[in-house]
A and B are shown apart, each in its own frame.
Chain A
Amino acid sequence: MRTTTRVHTPAERVKARRAGEIRARTVLVQLLCIVSVLRTILTRIVPLAGCSSWWIALLCLLPGAAVYGLLRFAMRITHTGTLTDCLRRCVGGVGGWCVSLLLGVLLLIDGTASMTALITMFTEGVGTQGTQMTLALLTSAVLLTCLHREGLARGAYLLRHVMLGAALLAAAFSVRDVHPDGLFPLMGEGVPAIRAALAAGVSLAWPVVLLLTLPADLPEKRVRLAAAVAAACIAVPLALTLTIPHELLIREHELAGSMLLPTLFALPAVRTLLQCLLMLALFLAVGGAVQMATDQICAPMGQPPRWLPYAVLALLTASQALDIRSLWQMLGRAEPWLLLPLAVLAGMCILIALFRREKA
């Protein structure tokens, strides 16, 4: 409750307004990070690792954190505020365009995965009648109304308390079913399964890199956001393992079943609440991915053309024309590699920046 603000100049007023917009955008990025991380944990790591998924998720965060750290270091030594600026300084305009395109492609893949998860939840989890494609069309039609430049970020910012409240409410109802032995055995299915889970989740934390595309005015915000993402991706698998034993966790290998795992034994009202929460989060994440992908792809051009977000959304919708199981398998093969180009980029940046510094 700030009551001592004193804003003097129009420039300061504009800065204060911009801070509000940046907050909204960071919440959207945060939501996208959390949804992406939780989706990967639920659908890739938990079916393999079972009760050891919580610490495997922690380990899988490390590569992403390392890449984030390297990129941050590169930005510091090049004295730039955002990732795109850093690449531009290191490699020129082409570099900036490349990183924007790369992030756009990664976001498209993530958006496709979120949309697939959302549609599958509808068709198989909830049991809605209707084909995959018609439900995808319907979801896209609703999303079309949301693809306003600032509306989605502001909407996510407004709904953040609602989503957090719903999650806490659901957690409160699940507390009575907690059994500490759910965390054991610590190694779960053993070393081969752990290896497979680590391989599946190695790029778990790639969305954290998106935080580096935000303006650098608020560096402490990035740390807080990253911490929130890490907390969410530990808390959920931990809560799962404490309430559902390992033998049941590794049984769910289908996409819908994995996504709806947190709702398995919940009370009917809590289950409906959790399903709504998951759907809302996935819906906003798909919209966020589309919007951010558009912004990244058009970053060198400045303002993206009006038709581009709709074209990107159409592409995502068209992906649902593929058989859902094959689509999910394809995504499963692609997801572990998402961090690699970013790691290469980070290495390249650091080397170029250090070389230039030495030369200077």
Chain B
Amino acid sequence: MKQPILPQIDRNRAAMDEALYRSINPDMHVRHFCTYGRDASLYYMEGVVSTDFLQRYVLAPLTLLRQETAESSLADAVSNAVYNCDVASARDIPEAVTQVMNGRAVVFIDGMDVALGFDVRMFVRRGISPPLTESVVLGPHQGFNESIRDSITLLRRILPTPELIGEMRVIGERYPVSLCVMYLKDAVDADNLARLKARLDGVRTDHVLSIGALQQLIEDRPFSLIPQCILTERPDRAASMLLEGQIVLVLDGAPQVLVLPGSILHLLHTPDDTSARWQYGTFMRLIRLLGTLCALLLPGLFVALVTFHPEVLPVTLLTAILESQSAVPLSIPAETLLMLVMFNLIGEASTRVPSVVGSTLGTVSGLILGQAAVDAKLVHPLLLIVVAVSSLGSYAVPDYSLGLAVRIGQLLLLAAGCVFGIYGMVLFMAAGTVRLCALTSLGSPFAAPMSPLRTHNPDELARWPIWRQRLRTWLAGTADQQRADGAMRRWDRRNR
């Protein structure tokens, strides 16, 4: 049962002091003053409020507040006095505590059974900077930051429409954190929205630390290798997904947003594809797809061909491989596994290493895995190229999570190729394809619109011209699926 706020200020003070652990929590401050002829107390947390604003625009007017007439209301008088900031009332102690934790200055006045929380927040936060993991050549260079307010503002700037709804809620039972569910009212599918809200309501945890943790709590298949939600740092990408009827979750403290539902194509597309002309966009996508396939298949294919199906390889290549392999102490499967592990280690180390020593790492890894390893006959030169190309391919995957999934899949396919040759790889890929097609994202098929077929724009693997992309996608729940009425290039008689 929640402790209500009482008209007796002494009891409220005692309750607040206990709830905020003021005796051992030096960040929790209280200022006692008089207002409207009554005792009052102001509670705030140091570091999250603007003390200057607090002094000038909250404390000063309140301290000077006098009762004008006998009939005048205290609440009205306070609202009129403090007009520079937003006021929210709290009816119980826990709510008042939450407001203090969220950066508000909460005022208790003797005789009032509500507390007033004034928005004087001024968190220390990072400015808007380019996204770290989703760089593009063409397109904006703004990324979300840890402030939920800033992130929402960035989206509202791109889509300045009242149809863009941002429902605020908190998640985490013990240590709640703010979460904003954003969607376009005239684009979102009501069933998807209801499903998502039900999942959010069903999350029972004390605190959600990051957007990745939230993803794991609400995604359809947490044991699947492939992520079923899209994490993005880019407001433009999030906005384009809002237009398609998807739902964006913005979590306070996370510089990425979570988008649902998604499909595998969303994980492979980048904003560059749309910003560039359709020929370039298609070309980049095909290269990226080739890179992904190389990353997945190349190491396993190499081992399978050399070990199980040498008849497929040209004999000159085969002889060259075997000549250099005869001097290497390890078998080809072991060598390939070692090289892949080393490349993954370098990748991981270069992510963690401080930038000042980054160049040293590059030199060391280049030396270790390059010429020295080949000269020492620890690895095979062709294998080095194969592993390097496949690693490059995995880094070409736009989505970080999918890139990791590709790297794990690469190892699994390598195992299949080492044990069963190409046949094992084929069966594994078939099973993987079926599993991919069985995946859902918020109930929508993950491999759509390819399988099952859904009405879609010509924007799957090849990116057709923008003026041909007339539909909202299969994820939208609108009555009208047309994005444009008539031709988009109405001025052009040939290319409409």
Contacts and interface: CB of A to CB of B under 8 A. Distances in A.
Do A and B interact directly, with beta carbons closer than 8 Å? yes
Interface of A: 1-9, 13, 16-17, 19-21, 23-24, 122, 126, 128, 139, 142-143, 145-146, 148-155, 157-159, 268-269, 272, 275-276, 279-280, 283-284, 287
B468 A3 contact: yes
A6 B470 CA distance: 11
B312 A268 contact: yes
22 contacts: A1-B464, A1-B468, A2-B455, A5-B455, A5-B481, A7-B455, A20-B454, A122-B423, A126-B423, A142-B431, A146-B430, A148-B435, A152-B434, A154-B434, A154-B451, A158-B433, A158-B451, A159-B430, A279-B423, A279-B426, A283-B427, A287-B434
Interface string B420-463: 10110011101101111110000001011111111101100000
Contacts of A4: 470
Contacts of A126: 423
Given A146-B431, A150-B437, A155-B437, A23 B453 contact: yes
B480 interface: yes
Given A9-B479, A24-B452, A157-B451, A3 B431 contact: no
A272 B431 contact: no
A158 B447 contact: yes
Contacts of B468: 1, 3
A128 B308 CA distance: 10
Given A1-B464, A7-B481, A269-B312, A151 B435 contact: yes
B348 interface: no
Contacts of B447: 154, 158
A242 B452 CA distance: 37
A1 B458 contact: yes
**Which of A7, A152, A157 has the most CB atoms of chain B within a 10 A radius of its CB?**
A7
A36 B452 CA distance: 24
A88 to B, nearest CB: 28
B471 interface: yes
B437 A151 contact: yes
A20 B452 CA distance: 5
Main secondary structure, interface of A, reads helix
A154 B451 CA distance: 5
A143 to B, nearest CB: 8
A3 B470 contact: yes
A165 B420 CA distance: 24
A157 B436 CA distance: 12
A148 B438 contact: yes
A35 to B, nearest CB: 13
B430 A283 contact: yes
Interface string B456-496: 01100000100011110010010111100000000000000
B309 interface: yes
Contacts of B18: none
A272 B305 CA distance: 10
A154 B438 contact: yes
Contacts of B481: 5-7
Contacts of A276: 422-423, 426
Nearest to A287: B434
A155 B312 CA distance: 28
A286 to B, nearest CB: 11
A150 B426 contact: no
Given A142-B428, A146-B431, A24 B451 contact: yes
Contacts of A24: 451-453
B311 interface: yes
A269 B311 CA distance: 8
A155 B423 contact: no
B186 to A, nearest CB: 14
A21 B448 CA distance: 10
Given A3-B470, A272-B422, A279-B423, A155 B434 contact: yes
A74 to B, nearest CB: 30
Contacts of B309: 268, 272
Contacts of A122: 423
Contacts of A146: 430-431, 434-435
Contact of B454 (A3, A17, A128, A280): A17
A201 B326 CA distance: 53
Given A1-B468, A3-B470, A155 B455 contact: no
Contacts of B470: 3-4
Interface of B: 309, 311-312, 420, 422-423, 426-428, 430-431, 433-438, 445, 447-455, 457-458, 464, 468-471, 474, 477, 479-482
A23 B422 CA distance: 30
Contacts of B452: 17, 20-21, 23-24, 150, 153-154, 157
Contact of A275 (B423, B449, B471, B474): B423
Contacts of A13: 477
A24 B448 CA distance: 11
Nearest to A146: B434
Given A8-B479, A157-B453, A272-B312, 20 more contacts: A1-B464, A6-B482, A17-B452, A17-B454, A17-B474, A20-B454, A24-B451, A24-B453, A142-B427, A145-B435, A150-B445, A151-B434, A153-B452, A154-B438, A157-B452, A158-B451, A268-B312, A269-B312, A276-B423, A279-B426
**Which of A3, A126, A153, A272 has the most CB atoms of chain B within a 10 A radius of its CB?**
A3
Contact of B438 (A5, A6, A150): A150
Contacts of A272: 309, 311-312, 422
B434 A148 contact: yes
A126 B423 CA distance: 9
**Which of B311, B455, B474 has the most CB atoms of chain A within a 10 A radius of its CB?**
B455
B453 to A, nearest CB: 4
**Which of B448, B451, B470, B482 has the most CB atoms of chain A within a 10 A radius of its CB?**
B451
B479 A155 contact: no
A154 B453 CA distance: 9
Contact of B433 (A3, A23, A159, A279): A159
B483 to A, nearest CB: 10
A149 B453 CA distance: 16
Contacts of A149: 438
B188 to A, nearest CB: 13
A114 to B, nearest CB: 14
B111 to A, nearest CB: 54
Nearest to B444: A17
Contacts of B420: 128
B245 to A, nearest CB: 11
Nearest to B483: A3
B315 to A, nearest CB: 10
Contacts of B457: 3
B448 to A, nearest CB: 7
Contacts of A157: 437, 451-453
A88 B474 CA distance: 36
Nearest to B420: A128
A153 B445 CA distance: 12
Contacts of A154: 434, 437-438, 445, 447, 451-452
9 closest A-B pairs by CB: A151-B438, A154-B437, A155-B434, A20-B452, A148-B438, A268-B311, A146-B434, A158-B451, A20-B453
